[in-house]
Amino acid sequence: MRKTATALVSLALASTFATPLLAADLRMSWWGGDSRHKATQEALKVCGEKHGHTIAPEFTGFDGHLEKLMTQIAGRTEADIMQVNWPWLPLFSIKGDGFADLNDFSEYIDLSNWTEDQLASGSMNGKLNGLPVSTTGRVFFFNTTSFQKAGLPLPATWDDLFAAAKVLKEKIGPDAYPMNAIKETAVLLVSLRATQATGKDLIDPETTTVAWTPEELAAAIDFYGKMVEGGVVMSQKDAAAEGNINLFESPKWADGRIAGSYEWDSTYSKFADPLQEGQKLEAVKLLASPDARTEGVYRKPSMVFSISKNSKNPQAAAQIVNCLLNEPEGIKALGSSRGLPASNTAAKALADAGSTEMELIVANAIVTAGAGPTVSPFNEHPEVRSIFIDALEEFAYGQIDAQTAAEEIIDGINGALKKFRS
């Protein structure tokens, strides 16, 4: 308790730069579950009292929230402060003018708590449209018990992964695999391989088109095919025969026969909890080849806090945003209700208070330290993801080759994104 109090006092001393403002009546909208609703309402109460503002809460579940936000923004009735899903930024602000530019409120928001990459990920057309509330990214999780049983160290390179496949099958069983790669995970592994080889994200930010050539993408898809052939990952056909169940619900995951996956760092507990007693999950740095141009980290905001461009009191809204994300009252109230905070001050406060599990801290540190091009929100546009998954599935079933799959993906994505190009 004394440690927590000391950390929060230090934060208070560091967060007194904001200029006092006249009392304002504000609104804030978000989605989530009961725990997030409770934490956010408490945070708005204490931050409102601290700065002399009143903030009316507007909260829902995730289903239907996008439609509600679209209706409000179209009618200019949106809340002053909004929780916005990161892939929605280009839907509302492709030119950067859909939300207020938070750079204009640096007097009230301590932007130094975010890295340049984090701020870039919340920006559209050079305008800071949203502050990352928490930063998440993909990391490799491996079952240390399975690798120890096989007498192997955890993989550090792609070659290690291929070598491990043979040994795991000998030591654990013929249906053992060092890695999982189905549907979205397969797409992101292919994307990782292409990004490492080219140094480019899937989407070119200047042209809003696919940045990879068909040959570059085909090479990454072919690599995925070799993973299947080498017994590194289960085939799509075999996974379908088992019912395409979620990895964390799979008996093979629980008993360590599937000994690794490429998942969001924030989902550590979801994948660690189902493991049988005595088994342990560990996050490791991204696997890469010696000739990789970049680690290719896939790092993104899980969500952002934005301010309405139509707000009558944007400075007051900025003051509240800063309190929620950077000041001790807001940090303590919100806790980890939205994941490990992206704000350096908030993350340190929660870590000092012992409120974050060490495994999550380690996994998030790998994501934060990783190098790679800025990831475009269009990577997760529903049409983009669907096109990628469908073509990769056709390839997995032998209906098309890697070159054809690459051409289908690139043509399909470029067509889907045409409406977003000026």
**pLDDT at residue 403, as a whole number:** 98
* Structural domain that includes position 43: 24-135+301-364
Same domain membership, residue 233 and residue 167: yes
Same domain membership, residue 83 and residue 39: yes
In CATH, what number is assigned to the domain containing residue 71? 3.40.190.10
Q: How high does pLDDT run on average in the chain?
A: 92
Q: Which of 364, 380, 395 is the last residue of a domain?
A: 364
Contact criterion met (CB below 8 Å) for 138 and 264: yes
* CA proximity to 55, closest of 279, 317, 292: 317
* CA proximity to 299, closest of 358, 361, 374: 374
Same domain membership, residue 320 and residue 244: no
> Considering its fold, how many domains does the chain have in total?
2
Within a domain: 80: yes
Same domain membership, residue 310 and residue 291: no
Within a domain: 402: yes
- The share of the chain scoring above pLDDT 90, in percent, equals 78
Within a domain: 17: no
The pLDDT of 60-87, averaged and rounded, is 95
Q: Which of 346, 364, 382 is the last residue of a domain?
A: 364
Same domain membership, residue 241 and residue 103: no
Per-residue pLDDT for 16 more than 80?
A: no
**pLDDT at residue 422, as a whole number:** 67
pLDDT band at residue 19 under the 50/70/90 scheme: low
Within a domain: 11: no
Partner residues linked to 81 by β-bridges: 28, 307
Cα(290)–Cα(352) distance, rounded to whole angstroms?
37
Contact criterion met (CB below 8 Å) for 145 and 253: no
Q: Which residue type occupies 381?
A: H
CA distances from 347 to 42, 132, 226, 284, 327 (A): 19, 13, 40, 21, 11
Per residue in 175-215, pLDDT (tens digit) is 999 999 988 999 999 999 999 999 999 999 899 999 999 99
**pLDDT at residue 72, as a whole number:** 97
Within a domain: 355: yes
Q: Which of 364, 381, 396 is the last residue of a domain?
A: 364
Cα(390)–Cα(395) distance, rounded to whole angstroms?
9
Within a domain: 280: yes
Cα(207)–Cα(138) distance, rounded to whole angstroms?
25
Within a domain: 234: yes
**pLDDT at residue 294, as a whole number:** 96
**pLDDT at residue 52, as a whole number:** 96
Same domain membership, residue 44 and residue 116: yes
**Would the CA dihedral through 32, 37, 43, 47 be positive or negative?**
positive
Cα(148)–Cα(190) distance, rounded to whole angstroms?
28
Per-residue pLDDT for 243 more than 90?
A: no
Per-residue pLDDT for 5 more than 70?
A: no
Within a domain: 6: no
**pLDDT at residue 360, as a whole number:** 84
Instruction: List Cβ neighbours of 382 (8 Å cut-off, separation of 6 or more).
Output: none
Cα(333)–Cα(305) distance, rounded to whole angstroms?
16
Same domain membership, residue 275 and residue 181: yes
pLDDT band at residue 10 under the 50/70/90 scheme: very low
Per residue in 306-354, pLDDT (tens digit) is 999 999 999 999 999 999 999 999 999 999 888 889 999 999 999 888 8
Same domain membership, residue 248 and residue 100: no
Per-residue pLDDT for 9 more than 60?
A: no
Per-residue pLDDT for 293 more than 80?
A: yes
Cα(91)–Cα(211) distance, rounded to whole angstroms?
20
